[in-house]
Amino acid sequence: MADLHSNFLGIHSPNPFWLASAPPTDKEYNVERAFQAGWGGVVWKTLGLDPHVVNVCGPRYSTLRGADRRIIGLNNIELITDRSLETNLEEIARIKQRWPDRAVVVSIMVPCEEEAWRWILPQVEATGADGIELNFGCPHGMSERGMGTAVGQVPEYIEMVTRWCKQYCRLPVIVKLTPNITDIRYPARAAKAGGADAVSLINTISSVMGVDLDQMLMTPHTGNQGSHGGYCGPAVKPIALNMVAEIGRDAPTRGLPISGIGGISTWRDAAEFIALGCGTVQVCTAVMVHGFQIVRDMISGLENYMDEKGFHTLEDFRGMALGSVTDWRYLNLNHVEKAVIDQTSCIKCGRCHLVCEDTSHQAISTNLMGERHFAVREEDCVGCNLCASVCPVENCISLRHLQPGEVDKRTGNVVSDQYANWTTHPNNPMAATA
Ligand SMILES: Cc1cc2nc3c(=O)[nH]c(=O)nc-3n(C[C@H](O)[C@H](O)[C@H](O)COP(=O)(O)O)c2cc1C
Ligand code: SF4
Ligand code: SF4
């Protein structure tokens, strides 16, 4: 049986599933029930200085839903904890005492002043918590006060504050990064330069969910005004995976431990983050939508997967897929694929033809001997995958890899077994010459 035990920076947890800093971790009552359900760890809802912040008493959340009403994205305008520091610290200490085998990491956000950090860090340490996470990521509310994203968008600030934390605290320091930045490698490098033990990502993405066209008001709104919020949930997973991979393969941060966050709803999502190098994963939206019990499926699903693959520990596959992420210029231009339609499962809806005809390469015919029939003309197909992406029938359209020696009917060339990329292509004016 697979062992899901995780050792992240010396912080042990029975499984890699941690709850991200957010409403599910904002009080003892919640965390107690989360641990009973089986969560391996929590990052406590972000602590700040007293007097504590005040939230609006109106819609704090709104969702983007798919056609089947499934929640794809969640937007929130909530701030950090709106309870006193003392209350939070007492509860954290009690939780850690009752649950010594679970990871309890404390998220912190205080002003960018050395004194503020020097003041709060020993108090957090005194709770017995296992680590701290620096919230440089909230894109709303707190950023207007010079915290959260306002720090996370300036690598020099990240480095400076991380250094203070390493100086005034003995606990492992995890720097939580904002995705609201052009190139994630710079803040990650800054965190490492400041001495961070790890980074976690992503926090939420700045967003406006919509506009009420009758009232001409952005949605959601408080009274007759709204404010941008932070976007998360399944829709942000691809953005998070890319950023995780970018940090993992960037030379200055390669090997820096990562806690992956963003749209993780199932064991499979979690496994993908681990395969790209994450040591633990954090979950928020999925729990806000489905409740604490989803961790049971996550645990059993990951165990089954690892058993099937013969992985005994998380380390057996952590980072295994990272080497497959590369720059476009290194992709093999001699690799050729063509779409194939499985006629037995095709329901003849015509969507593949529509998209290929209007936006791709006009490679799908609609008629065979007067009958409605959809088939790919290999001589026009570039293997772009658009038809397969829109086909409503699973696996009805697949891409076939042409083997070396076969003729690519589109170019008339024999498919080569030689790897050749853009860096040496004759059409590339910058191509390296032999
Ligand atoms: C309502 C809400 C409140 C949040 N509050 C915090 C917070 O206090 N500190 C923090 O670091 N992140 C906070 N987050 C961000 C989450 O920890 C997480 O980074 C983000 O939601 C992405 O994960 P997900 O896609 O699983 O939701 C909050 C998210 C939500 C939805
Ligand atoms: S989209 Fe799929 S099901 Fe519809 S016609 Fe094309 S192959 Fe058939
Ligand atoms: S793979 Fe692209 S080009 Fe080929 S048939 Fe499908 S949509 Fe058309």
> For the chain, how many helices (H) and strands (E)?
12, 20
Please tell me the residue having the least CA distance from ligand 3 atom 4: 381
Transcribe 398-414 into DSSP letters. Answer: EEEEPPTTSB-TTT-PB
Say what the pLDDT of residue 70 is: 96
Ligand 1 in reach of 233 Cβ (< 6 A):
yes
Ligand 1 in reach of 46 Cβ (< 6 A):
yes
Tell me the pTM.
0.96
Which ligand sits nearest to residue 360's alpha carbon?
Answer: 3
pLDDT per residue as tens digits for the range 296-350:
999 999 999 999 999 999 999 999 999 999 999 999 999 999 999 999 999 999 9
Q: How far apart are the first and last CA of the chain?
A: 52
Which residue among the candidates 57, 112, 138, 381 is catalytic per the annotation? 138
Residue stretches of the chain with pLDDT short of 70:
433-434
- Can you tell me the distance from the alpha carbon of 149 to that of 413, in angstroms, rounded to the nearest whole number? 52
Ligand 2 in reach of 375 Cβ (< 6 A):
no
Query: In this structure, which CATH number among 3.30.420.10, 3.40.50.300, 3.40.47.10, 3.20.20.70 belongs to the domain 6-324?
Result: 3.20.20.70
Domain parsing of the chain, residue ranges: 6-324, 329-424
Distance 368 CA to ligand 3 centre (A): 18
User: Scanning the structure block, which residue is given the tokens 């520990």?
Assistant: 313
Asked about 138 being catalytic, the answer comes back as: yes
Say what the pLDDT of residue 23 is: 96
Say what the pLDDT of residue 212 is: 95
pLDDT per residue as tens digits for the range 24-39:
999 999 999 999 999 9
Whether the CB-CB separation of 14 and 5 falls below 8 Å is answered with yes
At 218, give phi and psi (nearest 5°): -65, 155
Transcribe 270-329 into DSSP letters. Answer: HHHHHHTT-SEEEESHHHHHH-TTHHHHHHHHHHHHHHHHT--BGGGTTTTTGGG---GG
Please tell me the residue having the least CA distance from ligand 3 atom 1: 383
* Class of the CATH domain delimited by 329-424: alpha beta
- Can you tell me the distance from the alpha carbon of 7 to that of 230, in angstroms, rounded to the nearest whole number? 30
- Can you tell me the distance from the alpha carbon of 418 to that of 58, in angstroms, rounded to the nearest whole number? 61
- Length of the chain (residues): 434
User: Which has the closest alpha carbon to 413: 368, 378, 369?
Assistant: 378
- Can you tell me the distance from the alpha carbon of 314 to that of 324, in angstroms, rounded to the nearest whole number? 19
Ligand 1 in reach of 139 Cβ (< 6 A):
no
88: left (phi over 0), alpha (psi -120 to 50) or beta: alpha
Q: Would the CATH topology of 6-324 be identical to that of 329-424?
A: no
Say what the pLDDT of residue 422 is: 96
Say what the pLDDT of residue 433 is: 62
